[in-house]
Amino acid sequence: MLLAALQQIEKFYGDQTVLKDANLEVHGGSRIALIGRNGSGKSTMLRLLMKQETPDSGKVYLREGVTIAMLEQDPKFEEHTTITELADQAFSDIEVIEQKLKKLEVSGLDKPEIYDEWEKVHEIFERRGGYERRSRRDGVLYSLGFRGREDEAVKHLSGGEKTRLGLARLLMAQPDVLLLDEPTNHLDMEMREWLEGYLGRYPGGVLLVSHDRLFLDKACSQTAEISLAKLRNFDGNPTKYREARIEQLRLEEATRISQQKSYDKLEASALQMKKWARQNAKLHRRAKSMEKRLARLGDEMIGDADMLERTTRFSFECAESGDIVLQARNLSKKFDKQLFEDVEFTIRRGERIAIVGSNGAGKSTFLKTIMGEVASDDPKAELLFGSRVRVGYYDQELKGVDPELTLVDELMRMVGDKEAHNMLGNFLFPYDAQFKRIADLSGGERARLALLKLTLGEYNFLVLDEPTNHLDVEMIEALEEALDYFEGTLLVVSHDRRFISETTDLIWDLRDGEWIDYPGDWDYYQFKRKQIEDSQRNDAKDKKKRKALESQEKVEQVKTPSKWQLERDIESLEAEIAELEEKLTEVNEKLQNPALLSHQELADVAQKHGDLDTALVEKMQAWEDASEMLSNKS
């Protein structure tokens, strides 16, 4: 079922064309990855679907009765509201639908027109997950890290936690069309994996914008790419789309070369024939025929390739350090909880290490402790850097940079005028954008500037804290390529699983206050974690089984009732069974004449019949158990 669509949309900002003849359809069950460079128009498309903006031409379609909602990156909540109260607010419109159902039922569903209306409203209630909303609330809050914090006031949450809570509230509301712009921001790896699975089961349509390539590949089965104002749709995830796009461009180029050769050859033959045909009518007709063939061939030739967006390449040049890069002993840190304790390690030249762990595990604090920005709790702590080590720290906050300076002014302090413009251009800053104040830069622009500055320092030990945040896919892949050729040592914190897999070969895991060194790459780490989790599950099952056996033994040790007590219990049960059978007979008589009952009365009688039947089965089972016990005693 078509839920929402953009139909032949055109959108301009001044003289800039953002979208031209764009078409997109969101159906029930759609999982669409919306990809493209930062500033390409992805957010514009989302705002058009939300009708927060209007197109310059074309139509935005939303099916009647369909709800659509978009994730906010900076949601505003009332500070005194608790997490549970805020979560329950997600169900306000579902509760309105439920009240409408109840009013229709009171009006009498035996009337055809009322019953038809009830069916329509009930379909919406079911589609929005009205019956499962409480269990959905508990599951989402648990999976997004709010378990045990339900009564906590929103004012105590960090900015990242508020963004996560905004995502939780949106998922609980379960709109028909879900627009998610960077939903993985502030989600750790386990949360990202949970969200992938949750979206796979989502009953509506989903349009996703994210720079996490693995997340998009796993969560989406369709791709829409915006490039140079053109929207392309593809039936497959982004990786398959890019492979198909590269192959399509290769085939088009090969076809274009072949067609051009044929055209040039026929054109030369036609010119030669015209020269020969000056005094020969037969040759003149042949020359005319060849010119017509040439015109047809020109019409059939495929056009020039779509212009590709500029790409970038950069590198991290460095001199070689000593064999030992960093030695650490007795690193410990505790805030509200123990983050890590008595950590000792040695990093050697050329090692490429990823630090992983859940949100709040202490990864960034661990990096800052290594960098000397945060002191270890243990006074015996030591940090010893090796000879010729130059540390480059990825600083997206741009500490020490004057926010009033323009981009080009900041670069000119380090290199010359011409070189500053060239470098900024290579990092995809258009000429006009190079005169923006640093204070006015977007998150993506600040991230690119931080990377650019890092390339200038000739550092042989790079320490990167979430370097892929705010970078688009092309820039992430350029960073991966640069690190692939980097001859120094790398220590990185990231939740981007593909980035970790591409750039590192050792894993450090911060988990539950413990630092664990995995001497292998990302695949090895996943294999070992699965082994540990399987073992923990088996231990939990064994513990549960032992508890069940202990409970069974306790039950068996309890003294059974006396013969006299059993006889009294049986008498009591027989009286209760007789009473239930009598009531059940009365209900059966009513059900034999349903025409005499209203729809609501019929529903109530049917419910009573079920309750009586269940109670009768339970009493008869109890009677059998007591009778068997009495027989054994006799």
> What pLDDT is stored for residue 597 in this prediction?
66
Nearest to 20 by CA among 184, 312, 229: 229
Closest CA to 301 of 264, 265, 263: 263
At 489 the pLDDT is 96
Mean pLDDT of the chain: 86
Contact yes or no for 51/60 (Cβ under 8 A)? yes
pTM score above 0.85: no
Range from 234-248, 281-295, 512-526 carrying the lowest mean pLDDT: 281-295
User: What is the average per-residue pLDDT within 201-217?
Assistant: 93
Q: What is the largest CA-CA distance in the chain?
A: 133
Nearest-CA neighbor of 60 among 133, 122, 3?
3
pLDDT in tens, 602-617: 667 767 877 887 888 8
The residues that bridge with 4 in the sheet, in sequence order, are 26, 62
Question: CA 538, 540, 541, 546 torsion: positive or negative?
Answer: positive
Q: Indicate if the pLDDT at residue 307 is higher than 60.
A: no
Q: Which residue has the higher pLDDT, 424 or 266?
A: 424
Q: How far apart are CA 215 and CA 311, in angstroms?
A: 23
Edge-first strand order for the sheet with 230-234 is 68-70, 177-181, 205-209, 31-35, 222-227, 230-234
DSSP 91-118: THHHHHHHHHHHHHHHH-TTSHHHHHHH
Is residue 304 over pLDDT 60?
no
Which class for 383: exposed (0-12), middle (13-18), buried (19 or more C-beta within 10 A)? Answer: middle
According to the model, what pLDDT value does residue 279 have?
Answer: 61
Q: Write down the residue that tokens 């002191």 correspond to.
A: 375
By the 8 A CB rule, do 150 and 141 touch?
A: yes
| Cα 144 from Cα 186, distance rounded (Å) | 10
Residue 517 CA to residue 353 CA, distance in Å, equals: 10
Tell me the backbone φ, ψ of residue 480, rounded to 5 degrees.
-60, -40
**pLDDT tens-digit series, residues 393-436:** 987 677 778 889 999 998 998 888 889 999 998 898 888 889 99
Please, which pLDDT band fits residue 557 given cuts at 50, 70 and 90?
very low
Can you tell me the mean pLDDT for 310-321?
88
Residues 6+ apart with CB under 8 A from 231: 19, 22, 23, 24, 45, 224, 225
Q: Are 489 and 462 in contact (CB under 8 A)?
A: yes
